Amino acid sequence: MNSFGRFFAAAVLFLLLSGAASDQAGAGERLYKIPFGGWDVIEEWIVDRNGNEVSRDYVETDLVDLATGEIRYKVRTRSEIGLDEDGDMAILNFSSLLDLAGNTLIDWEIGVYFSAFGECIIRGYNNYHGVLYHLPTGKESHEGVRHADKLGDGKFLLTGWEQLPLGIVNGSGEALSDFQIPERYDDAVYVWNEYIIARSYERSAMYLLDGSLNELFVADLISQSTGMTGDYLSYERGDERGVFRPEEGIVFSVNDAYIEYYDGELAIIREGYGDDTKAALVTREHGEIAGGFSWLINDGDGYSSAPADRFIGILDERAVFIDREGNVLASSDKIPNAYRLDRLYEGIYAYSGGDFPRQSGLLGPNLELLTPAGRYTYLDVAYGWGEGEIKSAEDIFIRAWKGIGPLDEYGMHALNLFDILDHTGRVVTDNAAYVGDAGSDRIVIQRGFNIGLMDRDGNWVVKRRIFSNMIED
């Protein structure tokens, strides 16, 4: 790739990442980061909720000790345009490391830092090449590390770029396995609880391993589905799909169907595609409780370990709630061509219908129609929220996608603009070209030639022009 191509790709990545982050300054003050500038000037404009510019040119984040879960260090990062190690123009990351008292442990240098364990951090250059770094001694080990995950018995799995497996170490960083991990696991690895899920591209297989790399389960595909409650994993072997626990083995399986939900007592089974899709709520013994749905999902956040109290689906072109016994609790009016529902937040649902480009609308907590299909192609929650910021549906901003221009050969629009909606479907602002950081009453957007911070009523709190001089730019 030529110099401009590399720089363009780096700039796009920088804009995407910078727009989605949140920061804290002082005692819980919420700051918003706004990407600003052309390809020759990339900067992060940091403002508080009132639009007051924060003068510091760095972002401060926490490094957590993976062994204890406690914050161990603070890292400050900033980005500048310069030349990389190959002499090409690039966006360079500079970092400094501090202890919790604010003392500088490593002064500003080109590089990035990531969480590890004990007195070790991961210290890397331009996100790709890193080492495990022991702070008191300056000792470097395990070149190529990018990420660490906690296993059981004081062990940690080290991975490189794109989760490529490196090896297992103890809490002092000493190798407990070969480096690299055996070639049998030549693709990505992930940690689930105290186990490792390893993928082999060469063998088109996946393996569940314990912390000593003993193989416990092998399948074509192993994954942690968000539809499973409790400590279950899903698997595929040919046409067979099922659910298993490392301690129990296979607990539920089907052929030529998909398992959308399982909680130890009930499961959602889906068969077919498109207009032929049929879904049903069944028992662990495959007894049908309620069937005939064209879509059926758990009405939960997808991460709860508790069994669902109710489910939401589409039955005869109506959205319905059903309980665990299959009783219909509520129903919407008829929604022509509806075929899918997505839970955006508790009590807020997006439905899809029609052919490509698909059409989406919004349903409220009682399945009342808030926004009819036909106006938008897709609805989701605006990204960039800080941990714990969304406390109710009233906090969220909904990003409503609008396809612009003719369709391509795949039936997709080449360009999208966004309306911003609240939880009632009210349009906060329309025709945004970029949607970034979001808080409970503020959102970063670009609209026309302006970018800045907007409130929940669609008023600019602060904004800047994208172009300083139209003739020059």
Mean pLDDT of 94-118: 94
* Residue among 19, 13, 52, 22 nearest 34 (CA): 19
The Cα 248–Cα 264 span in angstroms is 12
At 162, list the tokens: 């794109």
Asked if the model's pLDDT at residue 84 lies above 90, the reply is: no
**Size of the chain, expressed as the number of residues it contains:** 473
Mean pLDDT of 339-347: 91
Domain ranges of the chain: 60-219
CB contact at 8 A, 121 and 130: no
Asked if the model's pLDDT at residue 413 lies above 90, the reply is: no
The pair phi, psi for residue 185, each rounded to 5°, is -110, 80
Predicted pLDDT of residue 336: 82
The pair phi, psi for residue 162, each rounded to 5°, is 60, 35
- DSSP at 39: T
Query: Using 50, 70 and 90 to split pLDDT, how confident is the model at 374?
Result: confident
Annotate 434-472 with DSSP letters as a single string.
EEEEE-SSEEEEEETTEEEEEETTS-EEEEEES-S-TTT
Asked if the model's pLDDT at residue 321 lies above 60, the reply is: yes
Task: Tell me the pLDDT tens digit for each residue of 267-302.
Answer: 999 998 766 789 999 999 999 999 999 999 999 876
Query: Using 50, 70 and 90 to split pLDDT, how confident is the model at 15?
Result: very low
Predicted pLDDT of residue 410: 64
Query: Using 50, 70 and 90 to split pLDDT, how confident is the model at 24?
Result: very low
Task: Tell me the pLDDT tens digit for each residue of 113-128.
Answer: 999 999 999 998 765 6
Give percent of the chain with pLDDT exceeding 70: 87
- C-alpha neighbours within 13 Å on the C-beta side of residue 246: 18
pTM equals 0.81
DSSP H helical ranges for 110-241: none
Asked if the model's pLDDT at residue 469 lies above 70, the reply is: no
Cβ neighbours of residue 101 closer than 8 Å, sequence gap 6 or more: none
Asked if the model's pLDDT at residue 39 lies above 60, the reply is: no
The Cα 357–Cα 353 span in angstroms is 9
Query: Using 50, 70 and 90 to split pLDDT, how confident is the model at 411?
Result: low
Q: What does the mean pLDDT of the chain come to? A: 85
